[in-house]
């Protein structure tokens, strides 16, 4: 069944004490204030994950995700972290294909397809990010870009594997810039993504898929975005670092 999801991507922010503090605040506020079926995911840096997974076990409203994983299970890859390692500390989700990974770490669709496979083999649901740059939007190639990201990164999966994927449409020009796609611009792409998934996997898979919007989403614009029929929630960067803003975004769904 399609889920309403808000996922927080902390990126490379917050030392250990501050991270545990923020997570505790979020858990308490979600428990006290959030009614309904929203699914909340928090994606801290690697070093916080073990402790945060332990805290998350004490209630059932917030899940934990990582921000990346390596495609191999183990081996001589200094500095990397694998999907089975994440699974072993209790992580349930992993962000893959974030534009910052594509841009700064040269991650391409072929590599991301391998990471997706490794995540799924270890019961991690990928939150798979796709989206166009400003140049691609301006030269009108953005539908092709998104089509290719889907085809090369995900469409090798079987239907039952794909059912574990969450998609995030994140126009690169809106990430961390304060520029947000209008609800109409976002809906247009979300509908396109769902149609691509429908053509590949059929109606059931397409209507069950959660597609999140990401890019300067905040408590002021979330309600309008989340009201669109193909927008099932948000992947939140900057605003996920403030518990009040993050929880207000979670409460923005019209239930
Ligand atoms: C992100 O990093 O996924 C993101 C959407 O960031 P921001 O909300 O800060 O634009």
Give me ligand 1 centre to Cα 236, in Å. 5
pTM of the model: 0.97
CA atoms within 13 A on the CB side of 163: 9
Question: Which of 9, 66, 167 is the best mutation target for the ligand 1 pocket, counting ligand atoms within 8 Å of the beta carbon and taking the most?
Answer: 9
Structural contact between residues 91 and 76, judged by C-beta atoms closer than 8 angstroms: no
Is 65 close to ligand 1, i.e. is its CB under 6 Å away? no
Q: Which residues are catalytic?
A: 98, 170
Site of tokens 């979300």: 190
Give me ligand 1 centre to Cα 76, in Å. 31
Question: Which of 6, 236, 240, 248 is the best mutation target for the ligand 1 pocket, counting ligand atoms within 8 Å of the beta carbon and taking the most?
Answer: 236
Greatest Cα pair distance in the chain: 49
Is 171 close to ligand 1, i.e. is its CB under 6 Å away? no
Q: What is the pLDDT along the chain (255 residues), one digit of tens a residue?
A: 899 999 999 999 999 999 999 999 999 999 999 988 899 999 999 999 999 999 999 877 899 999 999 999 999 999 999 999 999 999 999 999 999 999 999 999 999 999 999 999 999 999 999 999 999 999 999 999 999 999 999 999 999 999 999 999 999 999 988 888 999 999 999 999 999 999 999 999 999 999 999 999 999 999 999 999 999 999 999 999 999 999 999 999 976
Output the six-digit token pair for 6: 């808000």
pLDDT for 254 equals 76
Domain spans of the chain, in order of start? 5-254
Q: Give the distance, in angstroms, between the CA of residue 241 and the centroid of all CA atoms in the same chain.
A: 15
Determine the Cα–Cα distance for residues 146 and 227; give it in Å rounded to an integer: 22
3-state class of 223 per DSSP? helix
Give me ligand 1 centre to Cα 75, in Å. 31
Determine the Cα–Cα distance for residues 125 and 116; give it in Å rounded to an integer: 9
CATH number of 5-254, picked from 1.10.533.10, 1.10.287.470, 3.20.20.70, 3.90.1280.10: 3.20.20.70
């Amino acid at each position: 069944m399609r889920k309403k999801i808000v996922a927080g991507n902390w990126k490379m922010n917050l030392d250990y004490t501050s991270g545990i503090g923020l997570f505790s605040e979020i858990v308490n506020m979600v428990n006290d204030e959030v009614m309904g079926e929203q699914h909340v995911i928090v994606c801290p840096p690697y070093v916080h994950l073990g402790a945060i997974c332990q805290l998350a076990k004490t209630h059932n409203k917030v899940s934990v995700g990582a921000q990346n994983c390596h495609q191999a299970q183990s081996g001589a890859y200094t500095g990397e972290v694998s999907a089975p390692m994440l699974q072993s500390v209790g992580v349930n989700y992993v962000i893959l294909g974030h534009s910052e990974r594509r841009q700064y770490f040269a991650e391409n669709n072929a590599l991301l397809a391998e990471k997706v496979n490794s995540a799924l083999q270890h019961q991690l649901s990928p939150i798979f990010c796709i989206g166009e740059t400003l140049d691609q939007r301006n030269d009108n190639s953005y539908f092709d870009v998104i089509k290719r990201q889907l085809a090369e990164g995900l469409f090798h999966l079987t239907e039952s594997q794909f059912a574990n994927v969450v998609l995030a449409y994140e126009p690169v020009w809106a990430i961390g810039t304060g520029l947000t796609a209008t609800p109409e611009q976002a809906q247009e792409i979300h509908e396109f993504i769902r149609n691509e998934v429908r053509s590949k996997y059929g109606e059931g898979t397409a209507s069950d898929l959660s597609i999140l919007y990401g890019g300067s989403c905040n408590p002021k614009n979330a309600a309008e975005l989340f009201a669109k029929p193909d927008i099932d929630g948000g992947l939140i960067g900057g605003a996920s670092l403030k518990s009040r803003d993050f929880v207000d975004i979670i409460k923005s769904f019209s239930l």
